[in-house]
Structure 1
Amino acid sequence: MMGNNVLLQFSKNNQFSKILFFIALANFFYLFSCSGNNNVGDVAIMVPSNLAISATLDGSNAQNPNGDGSGTVNINISATNATSYKILLGNGETKELTNGNLTYTYTTAGTNTYVIYVSAYNSGHFVSSTLSLTVFVGSSLVWSDEFNIDGAPDSSKWGYDLGAGGWGNNESQYYTNRTENVIIQNGFLKIKTIKENFSGSNYTSARILSKDKFSFKYGRVEIRARLPFGGGTWPALWMLGNNVSTAGWPACGEIDMMEHVGNELNKIHGTLHSPGRSGNSPDTGTVLISNVATEFHIYSIDWSATSIKFYVDNQLFYTFSNASSFPFNQNFFLIINSAMGGGFGGSIDPNFISSTFEVDYVRVYN
C-alpha cells in the first residue's frame, strides 16, 4: 500500500508540475507580446525600434560644412527588427531600401536645406524619424548646343515639329525642316520665316525640339538670341513637360522662357501654363528692353521646386512661386521656334517678306 501511495503522489506531483510549466510558458509569451511584438498566426512579428539616421556630405569639412559642391550625400540608417526602409529625400523623390545605406546626389544648384523623412518597416509595422540636411550644389554645365558646326541642327540633340496651324494657335506658317527655314551658319542657329505659298500655308518657318533626346528637371537655362522683326512674328524659347503625349496640354505644364510679338516691339514675356492657369489666364510677367531685333540678349530662367525666375541679361523681371500642386516638378524638354500670326502673334504686316531668328547658344546648368 505504501508503494502505491508513493506512486500516486508522484503522479499527482508530476501532473501539477506540467500545469505549472504550461502556465509559466503562457505567461512568458504574454509578457513577450506585451513588450512590443505582435503575432501573425503562430509567427511573432518584431516591431522596429531604435531608429537612427546619420548623413555625411562628400567633401564636408570646417571650411565647407555643406559639402564640396557635388551634392552627394551618404545616408546611413539602422533600426532594431527592421526589414526595409523608405526615405523621403525632401525634394520630391522617394527611395525604398532593403538595407540602411544610400548614396544620393542632389542636383538643385545653391545651398538648400532638405528635411529627410525615414521609416523603418517590418510586416506593416513601422517607426519613423527625420533629419535636416543642408547641401551645397555648385553649378555645372549639363547640356548645351553652341551651334558651331555648319549645316542642319545636330540630330542627336534636336528633332522637328512639322506641319501647319500651330497646334491650336491658328498660326499662319507651315513648319518645315528645309535648309531654307532652319540651318546652322557661322556659329548661329538660324530659323528663317518666309512669306511663300507652301502646302496650303502663306508662310514657312521651323520649330526644333529636344523631345526624346534631352530633358531635365530643375536648373538654369541660358539662351543668347537675336529676335526676328515684323508685325505678326512670334519667336519663342520654351519648354514642355515630358508627359505631354499622355497627359496632354496644359496638364503637362509649359514654361515660356521668352516670347516676343513683332506688334509689340521690345516687350519680352515670361509665362507659365498649367491646368486652370492657361490660355487667357496664365502666370506671366513682362519687361521692356531695347534692340531685340538688332542685338543679342541673354534670356534665362532659374527653375527649382520652390520658384521659377525669369531674366533678361541677368536682370530678374518675374518670379513664379512653384509648388508640388503644379506640373513644374518633372522633366521638361526644350523648344525653339518662330511662328506667324495666330492668337498671340496677331495681325501680320502685309509687307512682310522674311525675317530671321538667330540663336548663339543654348546652355543648361544643374
Structure 2
Amino acid sequence: MFLLALVNFFLLFSCSVSNNSEDGTVTAPSNLSVSATVVGTTTQNPNGDGSGTVNFNLSATNATSYKILLGNGETKELTNGSFTYTYTTAGTNTYVIYVSAYNSGQFVSSTISVTVFVGSALVWSDEFNVNGAPDSSKWGYDLGAGGWGNNESQYYTNRPENVIVQDGLLKIKTLKESFSGSNYTSARILSKDKFSFKYGRVEIKAKLALGAGTWSALWMLGSNISTTAWPACGEVDIMEHVGNSQNRVHGSLHSPGRSGNTPDTSTVMVPNASTEFHIYSIDWSATSIKFYVDNQLFYTFANSASLPFNQNFFLIINCAMGGNFGGAIDPNFTASTFEVDYIRVYN
C-alpha cells in the first residue's frame, strides 16, 4: 500500500511540475502565436465563401489552456489550440479576436483581426406557386373602405375576383365596380401575427398596376401598431408607385415628425414599371435602411436607436385607388392587375 502511494505521489508531482521551473514556481506561457484562416478565401472572394467559417490555430510555449474572445460577444475556453468557428451575422464584418494562453495563474495575450463574409440566409418567403387564395399560414387580409385615413376610393375584399395566386404569381386585381358603397374594389394582404422580423434584406419581384389613380405598394408596419399608434410604430415603404406619375418609384419612411406629407423619402425612375417585372428591395440594419431597384441603390436612410425602425415589422402588399397619394382617378379606368412573382426575406 505504501509503495503504491509513493508511486502515485511521484507521478502526480512529475505532472504538476512539467511546466514549472525547478524551484516550483509556475512558468508563464510565452511565444503566443495566433492565426485565422477564413474558409473559401480566393482572389475573387478575399473574405471567404460566405459560409462564415474560420479555422483558428493557437500555440504558446508552456500553455495549458486558452481563452478566446471571438469579437461578437462569444467566448471559448480550450485546452487544444486548434478549432473551427462559424460566424452567422450576414454581410462582411471585421472581428477583433482576443486570445490569452494560460499556465495556472500566469498568462500571455495577443490580438488579431479577421474579416469574414457571411452570405444571407433565407428566413421566410412566398413564391406564390400554389394556385388559389394566398397561403393562409402567411397572409391575412385588411377588409373595408376608405384606406384608414387616406380617403381612398376602393373597398378591400378577400374575394378571388380581387386577390388570387395563379400561374406562379400573386395577382391583386383592382376593379371599377359598385361594392358596399364604394366604386372600386381591390385587396390588401398582410403578414401581421403570422410573420414579422427585425433587420435583414427584403426582396420582392413585381409588376405594378397601370392607370391614373392606381397606387401599388409593398411596405411594412411596426408589429406594435396595436399598442403604439401610427406613425410612432414606424412605417417602411419598400416601394410605392402611383399611376398619375407613371414609372416614378418612391422609397419612404414614416415616423413621428416625418409622417403624412413629410416622410423621409427619395424616388427613382423605373422604365416599364407596369409592363415588366423589377426587383424592389431594402437592406435594413440598426445603422441604415438602403433602398434598391434591380439591385441599384437609390436611397440610404440613416437609422438610429431613437427611431422606431429597430423592432419587428410585418409585410403588406396592396393596391389602392385615389386617395391622398393616389390622386385623381381616370374616369375611363376599368381594371388593372398588380402582380408579385415572389417575396423573400433574408437574415
TM (norm. structure 1) is 0.68
- 1: CA distance, partners of 2:307 / 2:113: 25
Pair 1:105–1:240, CA change in 2 (3 A) = farther
* Residue aligning to 1:244: 225
Residues 57 and 66 in structure 1, CA contact (< 8 A), matched pair in contact too: no
Q: CA deviation at 1:113?
A: 4.6
Greater Cα shift, 209-218 or 335-344? 209-218
Residues 41 and 48 in structure 2, CA contact (< 8 A), matched pair in contact too: no
More helix by share: 1
Counterpart pick for 2:329 among 348, 353, 356: 348
- Structure 1 gaps, min length 5: 1-55, 74-88, 117-130
* Residue aligning to 1:283: 264
Pair 1:283–1:113, CA change in 2 (3 A) = farther
Verify: 1:174 aligned to 2:155, yes or no. Answer: yes
* 1:261-300 CA distance string (max 9 Å, x none): 0000000000011111111111100011211111111111
- 2: CA distance, partners of 1:164 / 1:58: 59
- 2: CA distance, partners of 1:297 / 1:61: 32
SS of equivalent to 1:208: strand
* 1:323-347 CA distance string (max 9 Å, x none): 1111111111111000001100001
Matching residue's letter, 1:239? M
Q: CA deviation at 1:150?
A: 0.5
1:54-93 mapped onto 2 (5 Å cutoff): 69=50
Question: How many aligned residue pairs are there?
Answer: 280
Verify: 1:333 aligned to 2:314, yes or no. Answer: yes
Matching residue's letter, 2:158? N
Pair 1:165–1:57, CA change in 2 (3 A) = farther
TM (norm. structure 2) is 0.72
1:283-322 mapped onto 2 (5 Å cutoff): 283-322=264-303
Q: CA deviation at 1:352?
A: 0.7
SS of equivalent to 2:227: helix
* 1:19-67 CA distance string (max 9 Å, x none): xxxxxxxxxxxxxxxxxxxxxxxxxxxxxxxxxxxxx999779989988
Matching residue's letter, 1:353? T
Verify: 1:232 aligned to 2:213, yes or no. Answer: yes
| Identical counterparts, % of pairs | 77
Q: CA deviation at 1:111?
A: 1.7
- 1: CA distance, partners of 2:36 / 2:189: 40
Pair 1:104–1:249, CA change in 2 (3 A) = farther
* 1:186-225 CA distance string (max 9 Å, x none): 0100000011111111111000011111111111111111
Residues 58 and 67 in structure 1, CA contact (< 8 A), matched pair in contact too: no
- Structure 2 gaps, min length 5: 1-34, 55-70, 78-84, 98-111
Question: Which protein is bigger by CA-based radius of gyration?
Answer: 1
* Residue aligning to 1:120: none
* 1:301-322 CA distance string (max 9 Å, x none): 1111111111111111111111
Residues 226 and 296 in structure 1, CA contact (< 8 A), matched pair in contact too: yes
SS of equivalent to 2:226: helix
